[in-house]
Structure 1
Amino acid sequence: MSDAPWLTIIGLGEDGLNGLGAASRTALEAAEIVIGPPRHLALLGDLPCETRPWPVPFADGIAPLLELRGRPVVVLASGDPFWFGAGATLARYLAPDQWRSLPGPSTFALAANQLGWSLERTVCLGLHAAPLTRLRPHLAPQARLILLLRDGAAVQDLGSYLVAEGFGPSACHVLQALGGPREVITATTADAPSTGEFQHPVCVAVEVKGEGAALPVAGGRPDSWFEHDGQITKRPVRAMTLSALAPQPHELLWDIGGGSGSIAIEWLLTHRTLQAISFEPRADRAKRIAQNATGLGVERLSVVTGAAPDALQDQPKPQAVFVGGGLSHDLLDWLETHLDTGTRLVANAVTLETEALLLQAQARRGGDLLRLELARSEPLGPRRGWKASYPIVQWSVEL
């Protein structure tokens, strides 16, 4: 094989050949095969080489592409292939010297330049295959969002979602076929009735307005954000627990005895690179955990229905573990035997039996013990008094 990459990924705009630079034109002229979505192929018109439509779903096109290894091939993508595009997916299957990418302006850049928005202060999300609930952590008055949507119908879905969350007055700029002769920009609001159909490719730039609730950014969100049956780590204890877990970018958490999933969900809300697995023996609670995670925009939470330690087998090793339920000598022994040195472990106890277990564990393994005693003011006859909650004993240790 020659030294030149056999695969070129070209970021194509809506103006077709007119928007391509010299390097992209040269790659097209040298290509034996050009592959891309039918819409992109149509933008280029008649080509002297073979053309192939990329199949749906996208993954079905990977194997046929790899069979062309060594021949000059061009794959067409939209705008910048490495910003919510196909570039990163394709690069995973190829050595660095086998491909190159020639990006065009991204839809985000085109939209920001149309509207005069500062791109670094704008939330940019690709929602082609993601639920609209991924927006939830970003919905707050004055926030600006640019959202890539799968098709025109998704524009109406977005409006309905914003209205349901209390942000109906949000200004929505619907931008269709940006950068090409079919470009159309429509200014509306999320709660405005539809006046027509929107066509793909489409994105929506949103200026968030309304009286909807904004999700706090600090750990220890109000309990009301989580559906639960009473099995939930309450807000103040959750804040202390997350502090003890000390999440760092790119880490994985095991949440054992998930309950409502509040610990794992708040862990994921801390940073977009974090991952978590919630283990819950009850199927109804496991289903609720998944629903809570999706509703709060962190559907990447993995939920495993099963009891520890059996359910922990063959799972990727975590950097942090929280045990909120089902703590036992056997589970502690399993964790110490199977997890890597340096794994952070935090366990909370409410009952005397579990507290005794933590005291014994701390005596053997070290770590810190913390006793949390909380009381809230409540009516007491015509006055008010303090109502104490059950004390919590928290053990944190590095294995």
Structure 2
Amino acid sequence: MRVTIASAVVSATGVPTEVVVVGIGADGWASLPSSSRDLVLGASVLWGGSRHLSLVPSVPGQERVPWPSPLAASLPGLLSEYAGRPVVALASGDPLVSGIATTLLDLGAPVRVVPAVSSVALARARMGWSAESCEVVSLVGRPIERLVLHLAPSRWILVLSSDASTPAAVASLLTSSGWGSSRLTVLGDLGSRSESSTSGVASSWSAESPALNVIAIEVAGNGLASWAPGLPDDAYEHDGQLTKRDLRASALARLMPAPGQLLWDVGAGAGSVGIEWMRAHSTCRTLAIESDPARAARIARNAHALGVPDLHVVEGRAPSALADLEAPDAIFVGGGATREGVLDTCLKVLKPGGRLVVHGVTLETETVLAKAYAKHGGELTRIGVETAAPVGTFTGWAPARAVTQWALSGTPSS
């Protein structure tokens, strides 16, 4: 399987002249200011969800178009269908908070946003939490495991739910990951006459929730909570093909994760380097290239368990599996460096200012890395790690196999 990460952008000529996205609260038409009402009543074309469209009065001659399903795949066609025409679209609260305005902007549509009070603002008000004191995590159409990355003792988190099932799923996830003593408050139908609030502890959560809800989490427990590189080895499911924590920390220090950047984890094994690259920041991305199907499946399981379910696994053998992938900002080669074409391909595709780290444990790999160092420069390091272990009734040092590490930053010299 080959994966290319890219965003779909429609042609600027195949979109409406403008899409005015008007935010509307759960209390509907009554809460809209006159300026927003005028936009809705004066629109010749009105888009929105069926619920949103039902909240506004009918207008003779107005064309009303419910959002198509599936929404993401159908939006480019909808934009093209109304090319050259002005459109008004309805959205919940602030359309730029996990909303349709963001999606339309990503597609290249000309968008003007008229926001209402967001569910996030209402939730903070109900909880008495300042914007600086809490974090917002959207699970709308996203894997629930994304939440794991943000969990730490005493943190306050607002979760934007997908539907009524999200609170129970969040409670289960918190419990299974060591945060079962966290307190949950499910705020339903915020801003409406039917607004509700239900609280409880994650480990004993059994309450039913409304379809529209925001979850406030007061995190408590003893789960894994670190963004630093070098998680314990037993945090990973593996078959021995694992970059151990001290070596992992050394590699990531040289790979230098940065927001929005992409890593290739070549010969990924258990996926630990790529996973911890993504744990460094919620916008970091990884393509994990692994030829063994069992290990590829294991990488995906590890990524979900450690809070980065959006990691992409490319099942195949380098260098052929690297063809047509998005150019990376950094590359880690944990296996396969002696295979012809692997290092050459990595050096060729690396973006300007990119970083490359390669590990080797055999004499053959060490020879390859020594030649690469002599040709391109960088940093060549031999790392030996010893850990205390029983020696009879005493304690001695047990050495692990030494690893040769070649690290290159910036454009390689010829």
Q: TM-score range by the shorter chain?
A: over 0.9
1:58 equivalent to 2:71? Answer yes
1:117 equivalent to 2:113? Answer no
2:91 equivalent in structure 1? 77
1:324 equivalent to 2:338? Answer no
* Rounded Cα–Cα distance in structure 2 between residues aligned with 1:204 and 1:340: 40
* Rounded Cα–Cα distance in structure 2 between residues aligned with 1:245 and 1:6: 42
1:359 equivalent in structure 2? 370
1:249 Cα offset (Å): 2.4
* Rounded Cα–Cα distance in structure 2 between residues aligned with 1:336 and 1:158: 42
1:282 equivalent in structure 2? 292
* Rounded Cα–Cα distance in structure 1 between residues aligned with 2:17 and 2:249: 51
1:152 equivalent to 2:164? Answer yes
Structure 1: state its 5+ residue gaps.
Answer: none
* Rounded Cα–Cα distance in structure 1 between residues aligned with 2:327 and 2:173: 36
How many residue pairs align between the two structures? 393
1:304 equivalent in structure 2? 314
The structure-2 alpha-carbon separation of the partners of 1:158 and 1:394, relative to structure 1 and needing over 3 Å to count, comes to: same
* Rounded Cα–Cα distance in structure 1 between residues aligned with 2:290 and 2:83: 45
- Given residue 370 of structure 1, which amino acid in structure 2 is its aligned partner? T
2:243 equivalent in structure 1? 233
8 Å CA contact 1:5, 1:100 repeated in 2:
no
Q: Secondary structure at the match of 1:155?
A: helix
Q: Deviations over 1:87-122 (max 9, x none)?
A: 111123345xx4311011111110001110122221
Q: CA RMSD in A?
A: 1.9
Structure 2: state its 5+ residue gaps.
Answer: 1-12
8 Å CA contact 1:252, 1:276 repeated in 2:
yes
2:219 equivalent in structure 1? 208
8 Å CA contact 1:176, 1:199 repeated in 2:
yes
Q: Determine which of 2, 5, 18 is the counterpart of 1:6.
A: 18
The structure-2 alpha-carbon separation of the partners of 1:334 and 1:152, relative to structure 1 and needing over 3 Å to count, comes to: closer
- Given residue 295 of structure 1, which amino acid in structure 2 is its aligned partner? A
Q: Secondary structure at the match of 1:142?
A: coil
1:180 equivalent to 2:201? Answer no
* Rounded Cα–Cα distance in structure 1 between residues aligned with 2:351 and 2:131: 41
1:35 equivalent in structure 2? 47
- Given residue 87 of structure 1, which amino acid in structure 2 is its aligned partner? A
8 Å CA contact 2:331, 2:346 repeated in 1:
no
- Given residue 191 of structure 2, which amino acid in structure 1 is its aligned partner? G
8 Å CA contact 2:104, 2:111 repeated in 1:
no
Q: Determine which of 47, 52, 56 is the counterpart of 1:44.
A: 56
Q: Deviations over 1:132-153 (max 9, x none)?
A: 2111122222111111112112
1:348 equivalent to 2:348? Answer no
8 Å CA contact 2:168, 2:205 repeated in 1:
no
Q: Secondary structure at the match of 1:44?
A: coil
* Rounded Cα–Cα distance in structure 2 between residues aligned with 1:336 and 1:99: 40
1:67 equivalent in structure 2? 81
8 Å CA contact 2:233, 2:245 repeated in 1:
yes
Q: TM-score, normalised by structure 2?
A: 0.90
1:274 Cα offset (Å): 1.7
1:245 equivalent in structure 2? 255
* Rounded Cα–Cα distance in structure 1 between residues aligned with 2:209 and 2:354: 50
Q: Secondary structure at the match of 2:341?
A: helix
Q: Secondary structure at the match of 1:123?
A: strand
Q: Determine which of 337, 345, 351 is the counterpart of 1:334.
A: 345
Q: Deviations over 1:59-109 (max 9, x none)?
A: 2244224322333321111111111111111123345xx431101111111
Q: TM-score, normalised by structure 1?
A: 0.93
The structure-2 alpha-carbon separation of the partners of 1:100 and 1:299, relative to structure 1 and needing over 3 Å to count, comes to: same
* Rounded Cα–Cα distance in structure 2 between residues aligned with 1:161 and 1:286: 23
- Given residue 366 of structure 2, which amino acid in structure 1 is its aligned partner? E
1:391 Cα offset (Å): 0.9
Q: Spell out the pairing of 1:185-196 with structure 2 (5 A cutoff).
A: 185-195=197-207
1:154 Cα offset (Å): 2.1
The answer to which of 303-312 and 124-133 deviates more is 124-133
1:89 equivalent in structure 2? 103
1:338 Cα offset (Å): 4.4
1:38 Cα offset (Å): 1.2
Q: Spell out the pairing of 1:158-173 with structure 2 (5 A cutoff).
A: 158-173=170-185
Q: Spell out the pairing of 1:362-377 with structure 2 (5 A cutoff).
A: 362-377=373-388
